[in-house]
Amino acid sequence: MNTILLGGTKGIGRALAREIIEAGNQVFLIGRDPDELERSAADLRARHPQNTETGWALCDLEDPSSFEKALTLGTAYLGRLHTVVVTAGLFALQEDLEEDTELARRLLTVNFANTVTFCEYARKRLLAQGGGTLCVLSSVAGDRGRKPVALYGASKAGLSHYLESLDHKYRDQGLITICVKPGFVRTGMTAGLKAPPFAGNPEDVAKTIYRAIEKGSPLVYTPAMWGVVMAVIRRLPRGVMRRINF
């Protein structure tokens, strides 16, 4: 499985890159920080010396002009492209987003418009070669309008809707679309936030994502308990949602 991974330098993305390599596959890292990319590539080479090189290229989700070039470089490096994974995105607290309209604009643009644009480049590339897998991290925050994540959740709701639509439209043409909805995961993104009892860690989440890619599962909640939690939350009346702070 030859994989281009956007966001493989931190948290879930880095753990997933290790999982992919551990299984004997090739990965090409793309992201916005050259130092972090080289550090992650060196980490993968050190862990698995049989993979003499792990390639990387620059790709910034705030700069759509970088998308096609990064995918082209990754495809050329890998030869046959089987999978494109997107773990990158922006997160900020609701109160910070309400105070800083520019930050809110950036987050909404990156998490929805620019991520969808990147996925469109990937979709066309995969379909042109006969198919493949597009796996993208959304969030449980997009399952229901919730006070603590109104803006972040809105960006992820749009992304989840798009990914489901891709799966409906293109699976019979060979494009397998996987929408991953993590709940609370202990990463740098969530540092300083109070963790719920069923919080996950990047390594376990990465294993779940890798299994979903192998199986072609269209929708994955991770940790799995979040699927149960959100099934309940989706069924709560609006009056209840107004009274609780979840």
pLDDT tens string 205-227: 999 999 999 999 999 999 999 99
Q: Is 227 exposed, middle or buried (0-12, 13-18, 19+ CB in 10 A)?
A: middle
**Structure confidence at residue 200 as a pLDDT band (50, 70, 90):** confident
Closest CA to 166 of 122, 129, 203: 122
What is the distance between the alpha carbons of residues 14 and 195, in angstroms, rounded to a whole number? Answer: 21
pLDDT tens string 6-17: 998 989 999 999
Sign of the dihedral through C-alpha 151, 220, 71, 74: positive
Question: Under a CB-based contact definition with an 8 Å cutoff, are residues 25 and 1 in contact?
Answer: yes
pLDDT tens string 79-89: 899 999 999 99
Helix (H, G, I), strand (E, B) or coil at 180: strand
For residue 223, whether the previous peptide bond is cis, meaning omega lies within 30 degrees of 0, is yes
What lies within 8 Å, CB to CB, of 203 at 6+ separation is 15
**pTM of the prediction?**
0.92
pLDDT tens string 58-101: 999 999 999 999 999 999 999 899 999 999 999 999 999 999 99
Please name the fold of domain 2-243. Answer: Rossmann fold (3.40.50)
Sign of the dihedral through C-alpha 195, 29, 41, 130: positive
DSSP symbol at 112: I
**Structure confidence at residue 162 as a pLDDT band (50, 70, 90):** very high
Q: What are the domain boundaries of the chain? A: 2-243
**Structure confidence at residue 112 as a pLDDT band (50, 70, 90):** very high
Q: Is 155 exposed, middle or buried (0-12, 13-18, 19+ CB in 10 A)?
A: buried
CA 208-138-166 angle, to 5 degrees, is 95
What is the distance between the alpha carbons of residues 88 and 80, in angstroms, rounded to a whole number? Answer: 23
What is the distance between the alpha carbons of residues 88 and 210, in angstroms, rounded to a whole number? Answer: 16
Residue 244 structure tokens:
């609780």
Residue for token digits 């390599």? 21
Question: Under a CB-based contact definition with an 8 Å cutoff, are residues 178 and 218 in contact?
Answer: yes
What is the distance between the alpha carbons of residues 116 and 138, in angstroms, rounded to a whole number? Answer: 11
Percent share of the chain, pLDDT over 70: 93
